[in-house]
Amino acid sequence: DTGVSQDPRHKITKRGQNVTFRCDPISEHNRLYWYRQTLGQGPEFLTYFQNEAQLEKSRLLSDRFSAERPKGSFSTLEIQRTEQGDSAMYLCASSFRQPMNTEAFFGQGTRLTVV
């Protein structure tokens, strides 16, 4: 296992278009997190899953954002009707909870630019 994998690494889209990002966590990890990071800021929590259940969503996750983890393995994050303010690095992380959380490993992120 090579760690958390995110695809694509970079995405340039026109304002108003929809985009979808994929995250493949470390295989045995049951927790999966999405964060957003803008330049000069720390990662901001968006949402997380335990297995296929979405347990928490941040206020940052507007109704244009939706995340899924249909089989408790990979996850997708979709942004509809993108806006320039959505330009950021979208980070995925995974960990194992049994019963406490283990270390969270991050992927390299998907950098979104909305033009």
Q: Measured from the CB atom, is 17 or 113 closer to other proteins?
A: 113
Question: By the criterion CB under 8 A, which residues form the site for other proteins?
Answer: 4, 31, 33, 35, 40-45, 48, 50, 55-56, 91, 93, 97, 100-101, 103-109
For residue 109, the minimal CB distance to other proteins (Å) is 5
CA nearest neighbour of 62 among 33, 31, 36, 38: 36
For residue 16, the minimal CB distance to other proteins (Å) is 28
Please, which residues have CB within 8 angstroms of residue 27's CB and are 6 or more apart in sequence?
Answer: 1, 73
Q: Measured from the CB atom, is 80 or 111 closer to other proteins?
A: 111
CA distances from 58 to 36, 43, 52, 61, 82 (A): 11, 13, 17, 5, 18
For residue 6, the minimal CB distance to other proteins (Å) is 8
Q: Measured from the CB atom, is 74 or 106 closer to other proteins?
A: 106
* Tokens 């347990």 sit on residue: 55
For residue 83, the minimal CB distance to other proteins (Å) is 23
Q: What angle is formed at CA 22 by the lines to CA 50 and CA 61, rounded to 5 degrees? A: 65
Q: Measured from the CB atom, is 3 or 16 closer to other proteins?
A: 3
Is residue 47 helix, strand or coil? strand
